Amino acid sequence: MSVIDVLCGRPLPSKDEQGERLGPLAGIPVFGLDALSSAAYGPEAALALLISLGAMGVAYIVPITVSIIVLLLIVYFSYRQTIAAYPQGGGSYTVAGKNLGPFAGLLAAAALMIDYVLTAAVGISAGVGALVSAIPSLEAHTLVLCLGILVLIILVNLRGARETGVAFMIPTYLFLGTLLTTIILGVVKSVAASGHPVPIVPPAPLHPVTAMVGAWLILKAFASGCTAMTGVEAVSNGVTAFREPVVKSAQRTLTVVIGFLMVLLAGIAYLCRAYQIGATEPGPGYQSVLSQLIAAVVGRNVFYYLTIAAILLVLSLSANTAFADFPRLCRLIAEDGYLPNPLAVRGRRLVYTAGIAVLGVLSGALLILFQGVTDRLIPLYAVGAFLAFTLSQAGMVAHWKRTGGPGSRIAMLVNGLGAIATTATVIIVTVTKFRSGAWITTLLIPAILLLMYSIRRHYDQISEQIADAPPIDAGEIGKPIVVMPMFYWNKVARMGVEVALALSPEVYLLHVETHDERLEFTDRWTELIAEPARRAGLPTPKLIVIQSPYRFVINPIVEHILNLQKTMPQRQIAVIIPELVEKHWYHYFLHNQRAKWLKAALLIKGNSKIIVISVPWYLRS
């Protein structure tokens, strides 16, 4: 068993694909973790903007959360319909592309790709950030922890989808279990106390009122709260990973994820108002909203620490959603020729290895660039997700318009409403976060579009040049002229000459004279080559000696071959390069690498009429 087998598991045959598919229970951790974990930062992001309103701000969290839940419901129904309409995997890329044209599809894809990279980076950095604020002594190792978790997630994903599901199930259900318990307990206590429960551990005192309520401020808070909705797209994009019946499995997963998310958001909002919990300023004395809430409801006991641990774990593992979905998205785009081919090839464990690698490298680079600090990454976030939502829902409107039939009007209305709501959201998010980072996303999207179009153009150009090949012209190519560079006379060179004579009656041996080396065999030419060839009834090879005053060896050979080709443009020239094959890589330094350099130079400067024949000589050890 090799190291790769241990790390990534044994290779799986293609026919195992069915077995690797997911049911709803395993699907939730894989595709729902991102959406669910955002309950841990969405409400806090909204409350953070309401700090200056004091107790009034805490009151406003309820209507804001209600709006978000309504938006979430609209998006939920939209994606339910999408899953049914596109059981082959209906992410925004497919839906927008099929209904609004390729440009809309690529725009959605570019937006989503950015969002997935950010999801991976932000998820990990937020998790590590929370861990570090719980155990401050780890702070110096923030980046190392981030990268360690990233490597772990990459390895788990390279093992394949099913094992990923199992590995992430425990923390996900621990997170849901503890948080729902807290919420139910809190609601019961609150109702029992007629809406004014007494906190076990009092939350941080609210900020004094320093601002007036304004529509703009409420809109900003709403936009920030919407970060809780990133990740909702994942299920519909990953439909093909689900077990048969595919549509039902995926829809059930989506229902469970959105249902839980709504309960979490509603519960958190209700309890925040009931217990008067607001966000605290970052810096010393900072305490997360969820930490205050849990402490207020259950106190700082073992259950508190278990819940916090589950939150930390789920936050950092939410990056996994990106790893489950990004490669699948890339594969769809690659199959349409807008991203490199290798992204469409399934690896040894039936996962899209190249996509996992690309996401790993990009999110790792982001983490290193921002030193694992979440705050600087957050403003780049959400623009992509909502742009994709909008395009997806606009695409569904066009879809219903085209298909028609019973119920299509209501479906169109739902998707139309969703499109309008998410359009408004994407505008608000972009405008309010523009200066603090959304401008980067705004620049990256056209850059990615440009890249995708130029990749597609490249493939089109190649296809134009090599596709539609006619049947072979068997008589066209005659025997090639064989050319072989000759440095010393030894068994390697001897074998090359023999191969040359077997392939063609026209053989040229090239020797470059540099004064640093002597052509030892010129004196023995007749004995070694000419006479045996004559005896076998073969034409004698020609010896060509090239002077090289500057001691260059590769260039004179290549130039001679190119000139030869020019004088006989119709003839194929086969260059024989005898090569010593070493047993060990470290022997590389013991020999000049002429064979390799010569091959590379011929490949770069040559043309289709010049073919290269490697004749290996294997050393016994």
Considering only residues 327 through 356, tell me which ones interact with a copy of itself, judged by CB under 8 A.
340-342, 345-348
CA distance 611 to 452: 33
**Judged by CB under 8 A, does residue 566 bind a copy of itself?**
no
**Judged by CB under 8 A, does residue 465 bind a copy of itself?**
yes
**Judged by CB under 8 A, does residue 545 bind a copy of itself?**
no
Cα distances from 466 to residues 19, 136, 463, 470, in angstroms, run 39, 61, 5, 10
Single out the residue of 499, 543, 544, 601 in contact with a copy of itself (rule: CB under 8 A).
Answer: 499
Scanning residues 194 to 223, which ones bind a copy of itself (CB under 8 A)?
none
3-class SS of residue 175: helix
Q: Nearer Cβ to a copy of itself, position 259 or 539?
A: 539
Burial class of residue 119 (count of CB atoms within 10 Å of its CB; 0-12, 13-18, 19+): buried
**Judged by CB under 8 A, does residue 14 bind a copy of itself?**
yes
Q: Nearer Cβ to a copy of itself, position 409 or 458?
A: 458
**Judged by CB under 8 A, does residue 418 bind a copy of itself?**
no
Single out the residue of 501, 510, 557, 561 in contact with a copy of itself (rule: CB under 8 A).
Answer: 501
CA distance 35 to 260: 10
75 in Cβ contact with 236 (< 8 Å): no
Scanning residues 590 to 609, which ones bind a copy of itself (CB under 8 A)?
590-592, 599, 603, 606-608
Scanning residues 445 to 464, which ones bind a copy of itself (CB under 8 A)?
455, 458-459, 461-462
**Token pair recorded at residue 96:** 């927008």
Nearest to 362 by CA among 328, 319, 397: 319
Single out the residue of 219, 503, 554, 564 in contact with a copy of itself (rule: CB under 8 A).
Answer: 503
Single out the residue of 115, 172, 572, 598 in contact with a copy of itself (rule: CB under 8 A).
Answer: 572
Single out the residue of 72, 131, 377, 497 in contact with a copy of itself (rule: CB under 8 A).
Answer: 497
Q: How far is the CB of 140 from a copy of itself (least distance, A)?
A: 22
- Backbone φ and ψ for 350, nearest 5 degrees, come out as 65, 15
Single out the residue of 212, 471, 523, 570 in contact with a copy of itself (rule: CB under 8 A).
Answer: 471
**Judged by CB under 8 A, does residue 434 bind a copy of itself?**
no
Single out the residue of 19, 101, 259, 478 in contact with a copy of itself (rule: CB under 8 A).
Answer: 478
End-to-end CA distance of the chain: 25
Single out the residue of 6, 473, 569, 570 in contact with a copy of itself (rule: CB under 8 A).
Answer: 473
116 in Cβ contact with 91 (< 8 Å): no
**Judged by CB under 8 A, does residue 1 bind a copy of itself?**
no
CA distance 46 to 223: 8
CA distance 568 to 452: 42
Single out the residue of 117, 377, 493, 573 in contact with a copy of itself (rule: CB under 8 A).
Answer: 493
Distance of CA 588 to the CA centre of its chain: 35
**Judged by CB under 8 A, does residue 612 bind a copy of itself?**
yes
Instruction: Indicate the length of the chain as a whole number.
Output: 621
**Token pair recorded at residue 189:** 């206590």
Q: How far is the CB of 6 from a copy of itself (least distance, A)?
A: 17
**Judged by CB under 8 A, does residue 528 bind a copy of itself?**
yes
**Judged by CB under 8 A, does residue 574 bind a copy of itself?**
yes
**Judged by CB under 8 A, does residue 523 bind a copy of itself?**
no
Q: What element of type H or E holds 64?
A: helix 55-85
Q: Nearer Cβ to a copy of itself, position 120 or 493?
A: 493
3-class SS of residue 617: strand
Helices 102-134 and 383-403, packing angle to 10 deg? 140
